[in-house]
Amino acid sequence: MFNYIRALLSGIFLAVIGTFLHNAISPIGLLIALATAAIGIWYVGQLLHLRKYKFVAALSWLIVVLIAGSSGSGNEVLIIGNANGEIFLVGGAILVTVIALLKA
């Protein structure tokens, strides 16, 4: 049970870092955000020794990023629809899925 929580919190943490970093210093911030997500999800699998924990981290990453990309109650959007935002959403989703599918 504790490992699920660790994987969940890791995915949330990686998504928050990527959300705030992807638009920081274009294009370096985007590359760092994607690399952080990929390395972080891979590390969850190495640390916890099972692929299912990578899926938990990747799913929590995806949920947080999708919430950050949609408009909130005050119409605020953390991931805007520019090139960096689209690459972060689509490329990041593909990247964390592929990393989660790799053998732990």
Q: pTM for this one?
A: 0.92
Tokens of 37: 């997500």
Q: Specify the length of the chain in residues.
A: 104
Helix orientation angle between 2-21 and 51-69, rounded to the nearest 10 degrees: 40
Range of the domain at 35: 2-101
Question: How many structural domains are present in the chain?
Answer: 1
Span 38-81, pLDDT tens digits = 999 999 999 999 999 999 999 999 999 999 988 877 777 888 88
